[in-house]
Chains A and B, each alone.
Chain A
Amino acid sequence: MNLTPLSSRHDYRRTPIATTPRKHAQEVRTNLAVIAPFDVLTSALGIQVARRWPKPCEAAFEYILCQSPSELVVLINDGDLHPSDLTFAAEILGRCADSVLVRAALLPLLQHEAAVVREGAVYGLAKHRNEETNKHLRLVASSDSSPGVQTAARDALNE
Protein backbone atom coordinates (compact mmCIF):
# COMPACT_ATOMS: atom_id res chain seq x y z
CA MET A 1 0.00 0.00 0.00
CA ASN A 2 1.28 3.45 -0.90
CA LEU A 3 1.55 5.45 2.30
CA THR A 4 2.92 8.62 0.73
CA PRO A 5 1.10 11.57 2.28
CA LEU A 6 -1.52 12.96 -0.01
CA SER A 7 -0.14 16.45 0.40
CA SER A 8 3.10 15.48 -1.30
CA ARG A 9 1.39 14.05 -4.36
CA HIS A 10 -1.42 16.44 -5.12
CA ASP A 11 -2.00 20.11 -5.51
CA TYR A 12 -4.51 21.02 -2.82
CA ARG A 13 -4.97 24.54 -4.10
CA ARG A 14 -7.47 23.20 -6.61
CA THR A 15 -9.05 20.31 -4.80
CA PRO A 16 -10.25 19.91 -1.26
CA ILE A 17 -8.54 17.51 1.12
CA ALA A 18 -10.00 14.05 0.78
CA THR A 19 -10.19 11.37 3.38
CA THR A 20 -8.83 8.58 1.18
CA PRO A 21 -6.66 8.45 -1.95
CA ARG A 22 -9.56 6.99 -3.93
CA LYS A 23 -11.91 9.71 -2.86
CA HIS A 24 -9.25 12.30 -3.57
CA ALA A 25 -8.73 10.94 -7.08
CA GLN A 26 -12.45 11.14 -7.72
CA GLU A 27 -12.44 14.76 -6.63
CA VAL A 28 -9.49 15.55 -8.86
CA ARG A 29 -11.39 14.09 -11.80
CA THR A 30 -14.52 16.01 -10.87
CA ASN A 31 -12.60 19.26 -10.71
CA LEU A 32 -10.56 18.56 -13.82
CA ALA A 33 -10.42 21.65 -15.94
CA VAL A 34 -11.81 20.81 -19.36
CA ILE A 35 -9.63 22.61 -21.85
CA ALA A 36 -10.68 24.00 -25.19
CA PRO A 37 -12.37 23.04 -27.40
CA PHE A 38 -14.27 20.61 -25.18
CA ASP A 39 -14.99 23.31 -22.61
CA VAL A 40 -18.04 24.33 -24.65
CA LEU A 41 -19.71 20.99 -23.93
CA THR A 42 -21.88 20.43 -20.90
CA SER A 43 -19.58 19.75 -17.99
CA ALA A 44 -20.30 16.03 -17.60
CA LEU A 45 -19.80 15.26 -21.29
CA GLY A 46 -16.85 17.64 -21.52
CA ILE A 47 -15.07 15.81 -18.70
CA GLN A 48 -15.80 12.39 -20.23
CA VAL A 49 -14.46 13.47 -23.62
CA ALA A 50 -11.42 15.36 -22.32
CA ARG A 51 -10.38 12.39 -20.20
CA ARG A 52 -10.37 10.08 -23.21
CA TRP A 53 -9.15 12.43 -25.92
CA PRO A 54 -6.96 15.36 -24.92
CA LYS A 55 -7.29 16.83 -28.40
CA PRO A 56 -10.12 16.87 -30.96
CA CYS A 57 -10.23 13.84 -33.22
CA GLU A 58 -12.67 11.70 -35.19
CA ALA A 59 -13.17 9.21 -32.38
CA ALA A 60 -14.10 12.02 -29.98
CA PHE A 61 -16.61 13.47 -32.44
CA GLU A 62 -18.20 10.04 -32.93
CA TYR A 63 -18.47 9.61 -29.17
CA ILE A 64 -20.10 13.02 -28.73
CA LEU A 65 -22.53 12.25 -31.55
CA CYS A 66 -23.57 9.03 -29.83
CA GLN A 67 -24.03 10.79 -26.51
CA SER A 68 -25.78 13.90 -27.75
CA PRO A 69 -25.92 15.14 -31.36
CA SER A 70 -26.84 18.64 -30.20
CA GLU A 71 -23.60 18.78 -28.22
CA LEU A 72 -21.65 18.03 -31.39
CA VAL A 73 -23.46 20.96 -32.97
CA VAL A 74 -22.36 23.15 -30.06
CA LEU A 75 -18.78 22.01 -30.59
CA ILE A 76 -19.02 22.75 -34.32
CA ASN A 77 -20.54 26.18 -33.74
CA ASP A 78 -18.63 27.35 -30.70
CA GLY A 79 -15.63 25.07 -30.27
CA ASP A 80 -13.25 27.08 -32.42
CA LEU A 81 -12.11 23.85 -34.06
CA HIS A 82 -9.20 23.92 -36.47
CA PRO A 83 -10.35 23.35 -40.06
CA SER A 84 -8.55 19.98 -40.10
CA ASP A 85 -10.83 18.89 -37.25
CA LEU A 86 -13.96 20.80 -38.20
CA THR A 87 -14.13 19.00 -41.56
CA PHE A 88 -14.44 15.62 -39.82
CA ALA A 89 -16.83 16.91 -37.15
CA ALA A 90 -19.09 18.12 -39.97
CA GLU A 91 -18.99 14.82 -41.83
CA ILE A 92 -19.63 12.83 -38.66
CA LEU A 93 -22.61 15.03 -37.73
CA GLY A 94 -24.09 13.94 -41.05
CA ARG A 95 -24.63 10.48 -39.53
CA CYS A 96 -27.27 11.98 -37.23
CA ALA A 97 -30.84 11.11 -38.18
CA ASP A 98 -32.17 14.58 -37.33
CA SER A 99 -32.01 16.31 -40.71
CA VAL A 100 -33.23 19.64 -39.32
CA LEU A 101 -30.38 19.69 -36.82
CA VAL A 102 -27.81 18.65 -39.42
CA ARG A 103 -28.90 21.20 -42.02
CA ALA A 104 -28.98 24.03 -39.49
CA ALA A 105 -25.42 23.26 -38.42
CA LEU A 106 -23.84 22.42 -41.76
CA LEU A 107 -25.40 24.73 -44.33
CA PRO A 108 -23.51 27.74 -42.91
CA LEU A 109 -20.26 25.77 -43.19
CA LEU A 110 -20.64 25.75 -46.99
CA GLN A 111 -19.44 29.36 -46.72
CA HIS A 112 -16.41 28.53 -44.56
CA GLU A 113 -13.14 29.95 -45.80
CA ALA A 114 -11.35 26.57 -45.63
CA ALA A 115 -12.11 24.26 -48.54
CA VAL A 116 -11.69 21.11 -46.41
CA VAL A 117 -14.44 22.37 -44.09
CA ARG A 118 -16.79 23.03 -47.01
CA GLU A 119 -16.01 19.55 -48.34
CA GLY A 120 -16.75 17.98 -44.96
CA ALA A 121 -20.03 19.90 -44.80
CA VAL A 122 -20.99 18.59 -48.24
CA TYR A 123 -20.34 15.00 -47.13
CA GLY A 124 -22.36 15.63 -43.98
CA LEU A 125 -25.29 17.10 -45.88
CA ALA A 126 -25.37 14.43 -48.59
CA LYS A 127 -27.89 12.26 -46.71
CA HIS A 128 -30.05 15.20 -45.61
CA ARG A 129 -31.02 16.74 -48.89
CA ASN A 130 -34.19 18.71 -49.40
CA GLU A 131 -35.02 21.53 -51.78
CA GLU A 132 -33.10 24.10 -49.77
CA THR A 133 -30.05 21.86 -49.36
CA ASN A 134 -30.05 21.02 -53.06
CA LYS A 135 -30.16 24.71 -53.92
CA HIS A 136 -27.04 25.33 -51.83
CA LEU A 137 -25.28 22.25 -53.18
CA ARG A 138 -26.00 23.30 -56.77
CA LEU A 139 -24.43 26.65 -56.04
CA VAL A 140 -21.36 24.96 -54.55
CA ALA A 141 -21.16 22.53 -57.47
CA SER A 142 -21.13 25.37 -59.98
CA SER A 143 -19.13 28.09 -58.29
CA ASP A 144 -17.03 26.92 -55.36
CA SER A 145 -13.41 28.01 -55.70
CA SER A 146 -12.20 24.47 -54.96
CA PRO A 147 -12.54 21.84 -57.72
CA GLY A 148 -12.62 19.14 -55.05
CA VAL A 149 -15.51 20.76 -53.22
CA GLN A 150 -17.33 21.21 -56.53
CA THR A 151 -16.84 17.52 -57.28
CA ALA A 152 -18.09 16.51 -53.84
CA ALA A 153 -21.22 18.66 -54.28
CA ARG A 154 -21.93 17.27 -57.74
CA ASP A 155 -21.52 13.74 -56.41
CA ALA A 156 -23.89 14.50 -53.52
CA LEU A 157 -26.52 15.83 -55.92
CA ASN A 158 -26.20 12.73 -58.11
CA GLU A 159 -26.51 10.22 -55.24
Chain B
Amino acid sequence: MLIRFAKRLSAWEGDPDVPTLKQTEFKHRNGGVDLRPSVYKLDDGSPEHVQAYAEHAHKIDPPGTALGLEIVAHDRSRVVETPGDTPFSFTRNNHREVQLDDEGELDELVQAAKLAARHRIAKRDVCEYVRGRLSAEDVEWVAHAQSGTAKPWVTNLLPSIEVPNGPRDDSKRSV
Protein backbone atom coordinates (compact mmCIF):
# COMPACT_ATOMS: atom_id res chain seq x y z
CA MET B 1 0.00 0.00 0.00
CA LEU B 2 0.96 3.63 -0.46
CA ILE B 3 0.99 5.74 2.68
CA ARG B 4 1.21 9.50 2.96
CA PHE B 5 1.72 11.11 6.35
CA ALA B 6 -0.84 13.81 7.09
CA LYS B 7 0.19 17.23 8.33
CA ARG B 8 -2.91 17.82 10.44
CA LEU B 9 -5.20 15.30 12.15
CA SER B 10 -8.15 17.67 12.15
CA ALA B 11 -7.90 18.39 8.43
CA TRP B 12 -9.29 14.92 7.67
CA GLU B 13 -12.20 14.94 10.10
CA GLY B 14 -15.81 14.93 8.95
CA ASP B 15 -16.29 15.65 5.29
CA PRO B 16 -13.67 18.28 4.43
CA ASP B 17 -13.86 19.93 1.04
CA VAL B 18 -11.19 19.00 -1.43
CA PRO B 19 -9.87 22.54 -2.13
CA THR B 20 -9.23 23.13 1.59
CA LEU B 21 -7.55 19.74 1.95
CA LYS B 22 -5.29 20.51 -1.01
CA GLN B 23 -4.29 23.82 0.56
CA THR B 24 -3.51 22.27 3.94
CA GLU B 25 -2.13 18.86 3.02
CA PHE B 26 -0.86 19.03 -0.56
CA LYS B 27 1.04 22.28 -0.70
CA HIS B 28 4.76 22.71 -1.29
CA ARG B 29 6.84 24.20 1.48
CA ASN B 30 7.57 27.01 -0.97
CA GLY B 31 3.90 27.46 -1.90
CA GLY B 32 1.92 26.09 -4.80
CA VAL B 33 -0.02 22.89 -5.12
CA ASP B 34 2.07 19.70 -5.03
CA LEU B 35 1.43 17.67 -8.17
CA ARG B 36 4.04 15.08 -7.14
CA PRO B 37 2.87 14.11 -3.66
CA SER B 38 5.28 11.98 -1.67
CA VAL B 39 4.21 8.60 -0.37
CA TYR B 40 5.88 5.50 1.04
CA LYS B 41 5.30 2.00 -0.30
CA LEU B 42 4.74 -0.08 2.82
CA ASP B 43 3.41 -3.47 3.71
CA ASP B 44 0.16 -3.56 5.58
CA GLY B 45 1.12 -3.66 9.20
CA SER B 46 2.09 -1.44 12.06
CA PRO B 47 5.85 -2.14 12.38
CA GLU B 48 6.65 -0.75 8.93
CA HIS B 49 4.43 2.25 9.49
CA VAL B 50 6.19 3.11 12.73
CA GLN B 51 9.62 2.65 11.15
CA ALA B 52 8.67 4.75 8.13
CA TYR B 53 7.28 7.53 10.28
CA ALA B 54 10.28 7.49 12.62
CA GLU B 55 12.61 7.91 9.66
CA HIS B 56 10.32 10.40 7.92
CA ALA B 57 10.16 12.52 11.08
CA HIS B 58 13.85 12.43 11.91
CA LYS B 59 14.30 16.11 11.06
CA ILE B 60 11.15 17.48 12.63
CA ASP B 61 9.68 17.35 16.09
CA PRO B 62 6.95 14.78 15.50
CA PRO B 63 3.53 15.32 17.00
CA GLY B 64 2.25 12.95 19.67
CA THR B 65 -0.01 11.29 17.14
CA ALA B 66 0.60 11.02 13.41
CA LEU B 67 -1.79 9.90 10.73
CA GLY B 68 -0.92 7.66 7.80
CA LEU B 69 -3.32 7.99 4.88
CA GLU B 70 -3.72 5.28 2.30
CA ILE B 71 -3.29 6.78 -1.12
CA VAL B 72 -4.93 5.17 -4.09
CA ALA B 73 -3.15 5.64 -7.38
CA HIS B 74 -5.49 4.42 -10.09
CA ASP B 75 -2.66 4.22 -12.59
CA ARG B 76 0.28 2.34 -11.04
CA SER B 77 2.60 3.51 -13.79
CA ARG B 78 2.26 7.03 -12.39
CA VAL B 79 3.87 5.97 -9.12
CA VAL B 80 7.59 6.49 -9.57
CA GLU B 81 10.51 5.51 -7.38
CA THR B 82 12.34 8.56 -6.10
CA PRO B 83 14.95 8.53 -3.35
CA GLY B 84 13.54 9.80 -0.11
CA ASP B 85 15.20 12.69 1.66
CA THR B 86 16.36 10.72 4.68
CA PRO B 87 19.63 9.15 5.86
CA PHE B 88 17.83 5.82 6.19
CA SER B 89 17.88 3.19 3.48
CA PHE B 90 14.39 1.89 4.27
CA THR B 91 12.62 5.18 3.57
CA ARG B 92 14.97 6.01 0.71
CA ASN B 93 14.13 2.72 -0.97
CA ASN B 94 10.42 2.89 -0.30
CA HIS B 95 9.83 6.53 -1.15
CA ARG B 96 7.58 7.15 -4.13
CA GLU B 97 6.01 10.11 -5.88
CA VAL B 98 2.63 10.06 -7.55
CA GLN B 99 2.99 11.98 -10.80
CA LEU B 100 -0.08 14.02 -11.57
CA ASP B 101 -0.73 16.05 -14.69
CA ASP B 102 -3.00 18.69 -13.24
CA GLU B 103 -5.05 19.75 -10.26
CA GLY B 104 -8.01 17.73 -11.54
CA GLU B 105 -6.02 14.55 -10.98
CA LEU B 106 -5.00 15.78 -7.54
CA ASP B 107 -8.67 16.39 -6.75
CA GLU B 108 -9.39 12.76 -7.57
CA LEU B 109 -6.50 11.54 -5.42
CA VAL B 110 -7.59 13.69 -2.47
CA GLN B 111 -11.20 12.61 -2.82
CA ALA B 112 -10.10 8.96 -2.74
CA ALA B 113 -7.86 9.60 0.27
CA LYS B 114 -10.83 11.04 2.16
CA LEU B 115 -12.55 7.66 1.91
CA ALA B 116 -9.54 5.38 2.31
CA ALA B 117 -8.26 3.70 5.46
CA ARG B 118 -6.16 5.62 7.97
CA HIS B 119 -3.51 4.48 10.39
CA ARG B 120 -2.63 6.27 13.60
CA ILE B 121 0.96 6.22 14.77
CA ALA B 122 1.76 7.15 18.36
CA LYS B 123 4.94 9.05 19.13
CA ARG B 124 5.60 6.73 22.07
CA ASP B 125 5.78 3.82 19.60
CA VAL B 126 8.06 5.87 17.36
CA CYS B 127 10.33 6.67 20.32
CA GLU B 128 10.31 3.05 21.42
CA TYR B 129 11.36 1.99 17.94
CA VAL B 130 14.20 4.53 17.79
CA ARG B 131 15.35 3.68 21.31
CA GLY B 132 15.52 0.05 20.24
CA ARG B 133 17.54 0.88 17.12
CA LEU B 134 19.98 2.98 19.14
CA SER B 135 20.35 0.30 21.79
CA ALA B 136 21.02 -2.24 19.05
CA GLU B 137 23.68 0.16 17.68
CA ASP B 138 21.91 0.45 14.35
CA VAL B 139 24.51 2.09 12.10
CA GLU B 140 22.11 4.55 10.47
CA TRP B 141 20.38 5.69 13.64
CA VAL B 142 23.59 5.99 15.65
CA ALA B 143 25.22 7.99 12.84
CA HIS B 144 22.21 10.29 12.67
CA ALA B 145 21.98 10.71 16.44
CA GLN B 146 25.65 11.65 16.61
CA SER B 147 25.65 13.81 13.49
CA GLY B 148 25.08 17.05 15.33
CA THR B 149 21.95 17.73 13.30
CA ALA B 150 19.66 15.32 15.12
CA LYS B 151 16.66 16.73 16.93
CA PRO B 152 16.49 16.48 20.74
CA TRP B 153 13.73 13.87 20.56
CA VAL B 154 16.33 11.59 18.94
CA THR B 155 19.40 12.48 20.97
CA ASN B 156 17.43 12.16 24.20
CA LEU B 157 16.90 8.50 23.33
CA LEU B 158 20.60 7.73 23.15
CA PRO B 159 21.54 5.18 25.81
CA SER B 160 23.35 6.82 28.69
CA ILE B 161 27.06 6.12 28.68
CA GLU B 162 28.02 4.09 31.69
CA VAL B 163 31.58 4.00 32.99
CA PRO B 164 31.51 1.20 35.59
CA ASN B 165 35.20 1.38 36.44
CA GLY B 166 35.94 4.91 35.46
CA PRO B 167 38.51 7.06 37.25
CA ARG B 168 37.53 8.26 40.69
CA ASP B 169 37.33 11.96 41.27
CA ASP B 170 39.11 12.24 44.61
CA SER B 171 38.92 16.00 44.61
CA LYS B 172 35.23 15.81 45.55
CA ARG B 173 35.66 13.36 48.41
CA SER B 174 34.76 14.71 51.78
CA VAL B 175 37.59 14.94 54.22
Contacts and interface: CB of A to CB of B under 8 A. Distances in A.
A120 B11 CA distance: 11
B13 A115 contact: yes
Contact count band on A: 20 to 34
Contacts, number: 72
B31 A53 contact: yes
A104 B13 CA distance: 28
Interface in A120-154: 120, 123, 127, 146-149, 151-152, 154
A119 B29 contact: no
Given A147-B13, A152-B63, A156-B64, A54 B31 contact: yes
10 closest A-B pairs by CB? A155-B64, A148-B9, A148-B10, A57-B31, A84-B23, A115-B10, A84-B24, A146-B10, A55-B31, A58-B29
Contacts of A158: 64
Contacts of A14: none
B133 to A, nearest CB: 21
Contacts of A156: 64
Nearest to A55: B31
A159 interface: yes
Nearest to A58: B29
Contacts of A127: 61
Contacts of A154: 64
B65 A82 contact: no
Given A151-B65, A155-B123, A53 B30 contact: yes
12 contacts: A54-B31, A55-B31, A57-B29, A57-B32, A83-B24, A84-B27, A115-B13, A123-B63, A148-B10, A152-B63, A152-B65, A155-B123
B10 A59 contact: no
A103 interface: no
Given A87-B8, A146-B10, A57 B64 contact: no
A154 B23 CA distance: 26
A69 interface: no
B30 A57 contact: yes
Interface string A75-87: 0000000111101
Given A56-B31, A148-B9, A148-B11, 4 more contacts: A83-B24, A84-B20, A85-B23, A148-B8
Contacts of B11: 115-116, 148
Nearest to B120: A151
Contacts of A72: none
B78 interface: no
A87 B23 CA distance: 11
Nearest to B11: A116
Contact of B64 (A83, A149, A151): A151
B119 interface: no
Interface in A36-78: 53-60
A154 B32 CA distance: 32
